[in-house]
């Protein structure tokens, strides 16, 4: 069984969904410390040809607490502001009528726990894209408690009886292939190909939220983009 483990992000870029697509089980790593400068609570969409921030309001953000110990701040006016922003940004986009109802359903979802909410939002997008991967919250696994880094990742893989662990390419220096092999687990890293799709802007703005991809590309085109990656080892030169 192929497994990936990753912190949850707010409407992450398409490479995140390539990682999900590459595995059988995706562990939403929500019981690790919150990173304020990361992508847990923010991303970028396209407005008038330029990247523009979109954020997930969170109560009392702290890097001293776990992701799963945070709650959304969800006053009605913020929900309406987010939906208004998305309408303004993409009302002329070719896939708006198909995608906006999905985004509205996710943004209006009542779940307050940040880890559970982000897991829900990621899974909803994955299902829209036709990805059938199983999702699990690490906070509900009771695996690797008290461990950190590679040791915890390996313990979670063993708990799930994984035979292959796939990680994002930027984590290549964090994991030791021999340690995984000793546990009977293959270790790979996902290397995405350059991705360019039609945007109503010039020059092309890369690595925006999956929202931008879904608004501009038919589902069938996105499914082809999801296949545009290679699995490499940290013994290979890329």
Query: How do strand 134-137 and strand 25-28 relate by DSSP bridges?
Result: parallel
Contacts 24+ apart (CB under 8 A), 165-171: 165/2, 165/3, 165/4, 165/5, 166/2, 166/3, 166/4, 166/19, 166/22, 166/23, 166/190, 166/231, 167/4, 167/5, 168/6, 168/15, 168/19, 169/232, 169/238
Q: In whole angstroms, give the CA distance from residue 110 to residue 112.
A: 6
| Both structure tokens of 32 | 């690790």
Confidence of residue 238 (pLDDT cuts 50, 70, 90): very low
Question: Is 55 contained in some domain?
Answer: yes
Q: At what angle do helices 96-107 and 76-90 cross, to 10 degrees?
A: 160
Question: Is 115 contained in some domain?
Answer: yes
Question: What's the pLDDT tens digit per position in 104-123?
Answer: 999 999 999 999 999 999 99
Question: Is 238 contained in some domain?
Answer: no
Q: What is the largest CA-CA distance in the chain?
A: 53
Question: What's the pLDDT tens digit per position in 63-103?
Answer: 999 999 999 987 788 899 999 999 999 999 999 999 999 99
Q: In whole angstroms, give the CA distance from residue 84 to residue 86.
A: 5
Question: Is 228 contained in some domain?
Answer: yes
Residue 153: pLDDT above 60?
yes
| Domain total of the chain | 1
Question: Is 18 contained in some domain?
Answer: yes
Q: In whole angstroms, give the CA distance from residue 127 to residue 106.
A: 13
* Average pLDDT value for residue range 47-52: 94
Question: Is 15 contained in some domain?
Answer: yes
pLDDT at 237: 46
Question: What percent of the chain clears pLDDT 90, i.e. is strictly above it?
Answer: 90
Question: Is 237 contained in some domain?
Answer: no
Coil, helix or strand for 188? strand
Question: Is 198 contained in some domain?
Answer: yes
Edge-to-edge strand list for the sheet holding 229-232: 134-137, 25-28, 2-6, 164-168, 186-192, 229-232
* Average pLDDT value for residue range 125-135: 98
Containing structural domain, residue 212 = 2-232
Torsion over CA: 82, 83, 84, 89 (sign) = positive
φ, ψ dihedrals at 93, nearest 5°: -70, 145
Q: Mean pLDDT of all residues in the chain? A: 95
């Amino acid at each position: 069984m192929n497994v990936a483990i990753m912190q949850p992000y707010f409407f992450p870029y398409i490479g995140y969904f390539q990682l999900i697509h590459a595995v059988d089980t995706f562990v939403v790593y929500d019981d690790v410390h919150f990173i304020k400068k990361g992508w847990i609570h923010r991303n970028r969409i396209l407005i008038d040809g330029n990247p523009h921030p979109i954020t997930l309001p969170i109560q009392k953000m702290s890097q001293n607490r776990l992701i799963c110990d945070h709650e959304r701040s969800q006053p009605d006016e913020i929900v309406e502001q987010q939906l208004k922003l998305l309408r303004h940004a993409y009302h002329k986009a070719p896939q708006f009528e198909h995608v906006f109802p999905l985004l509205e359903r996710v943004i209006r979802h009542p779940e307050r726990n940040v880890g559970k909410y982000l897991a829900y939002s990621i899974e909803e997008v994955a299902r829209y894209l036709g990805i059938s991967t199983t999702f699990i919250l690490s906070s509900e696994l009771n695996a690797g408690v008290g461990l950190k880094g590679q040791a915890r990742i390996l313990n979670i893989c063993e708990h799930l009886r994984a035979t292959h662990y796939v990680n994002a390419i930027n984590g290549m220096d964090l994991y030791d292939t021999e340690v995984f092999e000793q546990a009977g687990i293959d270790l790979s890293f996902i290397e995405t190909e350059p991705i360019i799709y039609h945007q109503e802007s010039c020059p092309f703005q890369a690595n925006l939220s999956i929202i931008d991809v879904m608004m501009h590309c038919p589902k069938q085109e996105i499914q082809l983009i999801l296949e545009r990656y290679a699995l490499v080892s940290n013994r290979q030169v890329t």
